[in-house]
């Protein structure tokens, strides 16, 4: 239930942040991935 709630909620926003963070350090990607894992 928690995973389903997080997927649709931060799907667009998170994907957009990752796309922009692609050129910047992977620190943001790591944080986002860690948040998704938890």
Higher local confidence (pLDDT), 30 or 10: 30
- d(CA 5, CA 24) in angstroms, rounded, equals 28
Q: What b-and-e string marks burial along 1-38, b requiring 16 or more CB atoms within 10 Å of the CB?
A: eeeeeeeeeeeeebeeeeeebeeeeeeeeeebeeeeee
Confidence (pTM)? 0.23
The two structure tokens encoding residue 30: 């790591």
Confidence at residue 1, expressed as pLDDT on a 0 to 100 scale: 46
- Note the pLDDT tens digit of each residue in 5-27: 555 555 555 556 556 555 555 67
Confidence at residue 30, expressed as pLDDT on a 0 to 100 scale: 75
Confidence at residue 34, expressed as pLDDT on a 0 to 100 scale: 72
């Amino acid at each position: 239930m928690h995973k389903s709630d997080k997927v649709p909620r931060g799907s667009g926003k998170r994907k957009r942040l990752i796309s922009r963070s692609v050129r910047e350090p992977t620190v943001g990607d790591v944080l986002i991935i860690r948040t998704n894992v938890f």
